[in-house]
Amino acid sequence: MATNSPSSLGTDSIGSLLFKYSLPAIVAMASASLFNVIDSIFVGHGVGGAAIAGMAITLPIMNVAVAFGAMVGVGAGARISIRIGEGNKIMAEKILCNAIILNLIIGTLISVVMLCFMDEILILFSGGKANQDTLQYAKDFMTIIMAFNVITHLYLGMNDMMRASGYPTKAMRIVLVSVLINIILNPLFIFHFHWGIKGSALATIISQSISFVLALRHFLSSESFIHFKRKYFRIDFRIIAQILSIGLAPFLLNICASMVATFVNKALLEYGGSGKNDTVGADGDVFVSAYGIVNRIALLFVMIVQGFNQGMQPIVGYNYGAKNMARVKKALFTTIVCAVSVGFVTFAAIELFPEGIAGLFVDTSKGERDFMIMQTATTAIRTILILCPLVGFQIVAGNFFQYIGKAHLSIFTNLTRQLLFLLPFIWTLPVYYGAYGVWISMPLADCGSILLSTTLLIREIRKLNRQSGVQLKE
């Protein structure tokens, strides 16, 4: 199908559509996660393992910023897909313009708050346990990132809406441009100019700013299927409410992820090294560094699965809006198969090459501390990511509820995973098992979340089956 003609979302083969939309989205989402991976690899080798601990401290803060961006971008993208499926292009353009206004306001407010209270926020999110060197690395990195946060919000939001409106390949290319520039600038700033962790932050911001300009040009062009129109650049609270009703799910998910990361860092700093399965002689900062490495790897896996979700979004949104439930179900099941397959590949990689993967992030020749980080990360990778195939299914199920306009189910499944299952384990197990207690908390929480998602998804599929039966009778 032509990328600017979304009508064939209701007629073309589900498999070919999912491939056409998912492949660019996978590349885009995986490439976006590579920002964190690339930053960590260059920082780990160019600055040292201690700097990775500083970046790990920034993770929950970044999750807060991402939460607000996802609330707008994902919510607007889902609503745009549904409106296009209904044939309502005018409303899709109004959603686009209102989403830009929201991103401008929210992105600016976050920057102001973060920059004004950076020291206090870093201490809060580290649980007050991190040493001064770690906090300084975190501050150096976050000050630059937060100064340009509004650019990041606008760029990521427009990329979401570009995919949702029928331009997945173009969205992919824009993200790839950003990643390639980041790969070039990171070693230049760190190794040649010796700017350390600040150089990594600058590389990220410059690369995202260039891609922001490219995304902006797309929506300024009247040739795009939906584009900016001056008359729609005024706040419509009804549209904003519609965006936020769906965007609330990823928002709460990221906020909970931020809360969990904060408690994880605190537990690792307080109990790391006290368990019999913990790395001998390692202190809390070593375990935080290892957690930062595992998070980057896990994020890459999640982003690949989210790429399939992004490919599923316009197909499900369009056909749900057009009341073609058979195609909605087929898109769901096809996406689940793909996500579970990615999970098996990830599981095989971490079981076969855990030390090689962990070793990408640290230079063990720098000293015993970096070697301990690599050892600790190897154990953490194998433990935390052991349920990758089933987690892939759970991620698809949670997003599916969101794409059919039932954000409350998506919110419920994701919040229970973080709050009901994971946090109690994080609070209790490290007391007895040290850092290993933190590692095993995550797959245990995944088990509960997978069972809950399976139950809710079966119930929703039965509803779709009944709706399909009514349509056939009519």
Distance CA 56, CA 192 (A): 25
How many Cβ atoms from other residues are within 10 Å of residue 365's Cβ? Answer: 7
Predicted local confidence at residue 322, as pLDDT: 79
Q: Contact, 323 vs 471, CB < 8 A?
A: yes
Predicted local confidence at residue 59, as pLDDT: 79
**Band (473; pLDDT cuts 50, 70, 90):** very low
pLDDT tens, residue by residue, 324-372 = 888 888 999 999 999 999 999 999 999 899 888 888 888 777 778 888 9
Predicted local confidence at residue 437, as pLDDT: 95
Distance CA 346, CA 373 (A): 21
Judge whether residue 4 has pLDDT over 50. no
**Band (455; pLDDT cuts 50, 70, 90):** very high
**Who has greater pLDDT, 439 or 48?**
439
Judge whether residue 238 has pLDDT over 90. yes
Amino acid present at 40: S
Judge whether residue 3 has pLDDT over 60. no
pLDDT tens, residue by residue, 267-313 = 998 998 888 888 888 888 889 989 988 988 888 898 889 889 878 98
**Who has greater pLDDT, 168 or 92?**
92
Whole-number Cα distances in Å, 167 to 32, 170, 332? 17, 5, 21
Range name among 29-38, 324-333, 375-384, 409-418 with the lowest pLDDT average:
29-38
Judge whether residue 177 has pLDDT over 80. yes
pLDDT tens, residue by residue, 223-235 = 888 999 999 999 9
Mean pLDDT of 417-443: 92
Q: Which of 154, 152, 164, 222 is nearest to 24 (CA)?
A: 164
Predicted local confidence at residue 199, as pLDDT: 94
**Who has greater pLDDT, 145 or 367?**
145
**Who has greater pLDDT, 218 or 63?**
218
Range name among 347-356, 378-387, 410-419 with the lowest pLDDT average:
410-419
Distance CA 410, CA 395 (A): 10
Predicted local confidence at residue 468, as pLDDT: 65
Helix (H) / strand (E) element for 43: namely: helix 14-46
User: What SS3 state is found at 12?
Assistant: coil
Q: What share of the chain has pLDDT > 70, as a percent?
A: 95
Quote the mean pLDDT of the chain: 86
**Band (22; pLDDT cuts 50, 70, 90):** confident
Amino acid present at 441: S
Mean pLDDT of 17-27: 81
Q: Contact, 129 vs 272, CB < 8 A?
A: no
**Who has greater pLDDT, 268 or 28?**
268
Q: What share of the chain has pLDDT > 90, as a percent?
A: 39
Predicted local confidence at residue 444, as pLDDT: 95
